[in-house]
Amino acid sequence: MSTSNDVVIKIATVNGTGSASANGLLLKSIFRMGVPVVGKNYFPSNIQGLPTWYEIRVSGDGHQARAAKVDLMVAMNVQTYAQDLGEVAPGGWLVYDATWPRSKLLDRDDITVLGVPLSRMCNEHFEGARSRILLKNIAYVGVIAALLDIDLQVINQLLADKFAAKKNLIESNVEAIRIGFDYASENFVCPLSSKIVPMDKTAGRVLIDGNTASGLGCVYAGATVGAWYPLTPSTSLMDAYKAFAKEFRIDPETGGKKFCIVQAEDELAAIGVVLGATWNGARAFTPTSGPGISLMTEFIGFAYYAELPAVLFDVQRTGPSTGMPTRTQQCDILACAYASHGDTRHVLLFPSNPEECFSMALTAFDLADRLQTPVFVLSDLDIGMNEWMCRDLTWNESYKPDRGKVLTAEQLESMQKFYRYLDVDGDGIPYRTLPGVHPKGSYFTRGSGHTKYGSYTEDSAAYKEVMDRLLVKWTTARSIVPGPDIEYSKFNKMAILSLGSCDGAVKEAMQILQQDSIGINYCRIKAFPFNDAVKEFISRHELVYVVEQNRDAQLRSLMILDLEVNPACLVPVLHYDGLPITAEFVTRRIREELAKGEAA
C-alpha cells in the first residue's frame, strides 16, 4: 500500500554534531513543498556527546501532536542503535551508517534496513574531521530526500537562503546532500511506498517555536524591561526578545537601546527587577521554568498583595526538583496558581501553540496592567522549543496597550487626596500612581498589612477589608480572562477538558474516536480563573475526561477547587513521561475508561 504525506521520520544522532541544522533543513523543505509538518526535538541536558533525537511528523491532515510511531528511522548513533531499531513500526524503514559492520543480532524481519556508507563517502569527499562529521549529517538529508521524494531544488534553495553570505558552505552542503541522494537513488527503490507529495497547505503559515513567538509578543506589547536568569527551556525566549529588540528598538540617531535586559544573578532577583520596573510604569517580564517559579514565589506573593503588575513566562519542564530539564510537562499549574505563602491566587494563561504564545503575551501584559497583579503565561518545552506550523502572526495597528487605572499628574492635581487601595469603581481594582509624577501620588508600597488607604495596619477589620476587596478583583479577573474554546454537540454525553499543548493530541483523538462513533465534546481552557462558560460546559456532561500532562491531575484539582465541581464527574487522563502527549494515548485511555464503564 502506498501512502503520501503521512510519515514520521526520526533521526537519532549525537548531541553537538550539527544535526540540528540538517534536521531543520529537512523540516523546512517539506514545509516549502506545501505539506503540513511539525518537528520535535528530544535532546539531552548536555552540550556534546549524549544521544539526541529529532522527530518530523509529516501530516497532510495537519496533525501537530507527536505521533506514537516511527516510519523511517535514521540511526546515526551507535549508542542507541538497538533502542532505535526497536522503535520502528512494522513495515517501516531504518537507515544506518554502513561504513562499519553491524551486529547481525540487531536485525528485524518486519522492517527494511537500508545501509548507507555515510562516513566513508564523506571522508572521501571532504577534508577535516569537524566538517566530515557535520557533512555526514547533512548527507542523510540527501538520503531521506531520495527515499521520500523531497524536492532537491527546494533543499538547495533553502541552503542558498541560509548561507547567503557563505558561498563555500553552500557548495559543501549541496555536495553532501547530492552524495546521499545519489547513493540512495542508485541502491534502493526510490521513492519508498510512503512518500511526500507537494500540497498547498502551508501558504499563510510559518514554522515557528513558542519561545520566539513569546519574545516577539513582548516586543510588540511594548515591554521595555526584561529580567531573567538563563534556564532551560525558557532561555530562547529572552534570546528572541533581545534579537527582535535589537532589530526594532534602536534609536536611529543615537544608537541607544529602547529596552533594558538585566541578566540577574538568580530568579529571585529577576522577579525583583520586574517588580521594580512595573512599579515605575514600565512593562516588564521574566521568562523562566518551574525551578525559577519556586525561587520567585516570595516576590510573587508580594506583587499579589502590593498589587503590582508582572508578566511571567513559565516554559514548563519535567519536575519535580531539577527533574528532566529537557523534557516537557504541564506540572506547574498548581504551583503558579497559588504561588507564595498566605492567601494568594494568580491569573494564568495557557497558550496551546506558538501563535497563542504571541497573542497571549499581549493579553498577559494587558491583564497584568489592568488587574495590577502578576500574570503567568504557562507554555511548556514542547510549545516553547519545538517548531510548530501555525498561521502567520499578524499585527493590528490599532492596538493600544491597556495600562489600567494609572492616575496622571493632572488627575492627581485635581484630587483632594489620593488613597492607593480604595475600590472606587466597585470592580475591586484600585487606582495606582507612578513615582516621579506628582507629590500627591506618593504612597508606600509594602507587603505588610495595609489599610485601603495604603497605610500600615495590624487592625483586623482594616486588614480583612483589603483581603476581601482582592476577592472582588478576582471576580473581575474571572470575567475578563480569555474564555475557553468549546466544541459542543448536544448529542454527546461525554467531554474532554484540556489545555495547552494537549490540544493537538486531543483533537486528533476526537477524530479517531469519531470514526468509531464515539462522540465527545471538547473544552480547551485558556485561562485561570475559569470563567462561567467552563462551569456551564462541565455541568452539561455526565463525564468529563481531564487530559493533562502531569502525574497529579493538577488541572482537575484546580477545577475542583475553583469551580466546586463534583470530583466524580472529572476523570483524569494523565500523561507524564516527559515526552509530548499523543492522540494514541488519549484514545487508548478513553477506550479503557469506556470499557470500565461497560463492565460496571
Is residue 589 within 8 A of residue 509, CB to CB? The reply is: no
**In sequence order, what DSSP letters do the residues of 294-354 get, joined into one string?**
HHHHHHHHHHHHHT--EEEEEEEEE-STT-EEEEE----HHHHHT-SSSS---EEE---SH
CB of 475 to other proteins, least distance (A): 28
CB of 583 to other proteins, least distance (A): 26
SS3 482: coil
Which of the ranges 129-137, 217-225, 491-499, 514-522 carries the binding residues for other proteins, by CB under 8 A? 217-225
CB of 142 to other proteins, least distance (A): 22
* Residue in this structure with the C-alpha cell 515557528, named with its chain if needed: 208
CB of 137 to other proteins, least distance (A): 22
* Residue in this structure with the C-alpha cell 516549502, named with its chain if needed: 32
Task: Write the CB contacts of 462 (distance below 8 Å, at least 6 apart in sequence).
Answer: 449, 451, 452
Do β-strands 485-487 and 347-349 pair in parallel, antiparallel, or remain unpaired?
Answer: unpaired
Which of the ranges 95-103, 177-185, 376-384, 397-405 carries the binding residues for other proteins, by CB under 8 A? 397-405
Nearest CA-CA partner of 112 in 75, 72, 142, 77: 72
- The contact mask relative to other proteins for 300-339 (x = CB under 8 A, - = no) is --x-------------------------------------
Which position among 2, 103, 168, 394 is part of the footprint of other proteins (CB under 8 A)? 394
Which position among 36, 39, 44, 272 is part of the footprint of other proteins (CB under 8 A)? 272
Which of the ranges 203-211, 511-519, 562-570, 574-582 carries the binding residues for other proteins, by CB under 8 A? 203-211
Which position among 62, 222, 230, 519 is part of the footprint of other proteins (CB under 8 A)? 222
Give ∠ CA 341-404-247 in degrees, rounded to 5.
95
* Residue in this structure with the C-alpha cell 462551569, named with its chain if needed: 535
34 Rama sector, left if φ>0, alpha if ψ -120 to 50, beta otherwise: left
Q: Scanning residues 111 to 170, which ones bind other proteins (CB under 8 A)?
A: none
CB of 212 to other proteins, least distance (A): 8
Q: Which is nearer to other proteins, 299 or 376 (CB)?
A: 299
What distance in Å separates the CA atoms of residue 567 and residue 493, rounded to the nearest whole number?
A: 17
- The contact mask relative to other proteins for 401-430 (x = CB under 8 A, - = no) is x-----------------------------
Helix axes 354-371, 460-480, angle to 10 degrees: 150
What distance in Å separates the CA atoms of residue 539 and residue 486, rounded to the nearest whole number?
A: 14
Which position among 20, 170, 199, 260 is part of the footprint of other proteins (CB under 8 A)? 260
Q: Scanning residues 1 to 60, which ones bind other proteins (CB under 8 A)?
A: 28, 31-32
Is residue 534 within 8 A of residue 562, CB to CB? The reply is: no
Helix axes 532-539, 554-563, angle to 10 degrees: 100
Q: Scanning residues 364 to 393, which ones bind other proteins (CB under 8 A)?
A: 392-393
CB of 536 to other proteins, least distance (A): 36
Q: Scanning residues 85 to 114, which ones bind other proteins (CB under 8 A)?
A: none
Which of the ranges 328-336, 395-403, 484-492, 521-529 carries the binding residues for other proteins, by CB under 8 A? 395-403
Is residue 553 within 8 A of residue 572, CB to CB? The reply is: yes
| Rg of the chain on CA atoms, in Å | 27
Q: Tell me: does residue 281 bind other proteins (CB under 8 A).
A: yes
CB of 60 to other proteins, least distance (A): 18
Which position among 102, 120, 242, 257 is part of the footprint of other proteins (CB under 8 A)? 257
Q: Which is nearer to other proteins, 261 or 518 (CB)?
A: 261
Which of the ranges 5-13, 69-77, 220-228, 480-488 carries the binding residues for other proteins, by CB under 8 A? 220-228
Q: Scanning residues 428 to 457, which ones bind other proteins (CB under 8 A)?
A: 433-448, 455-457
DSSP class of residue 567 equals: G
Q: Which is nearer to other proteins, 256 or 567 (CB)?
A: 256
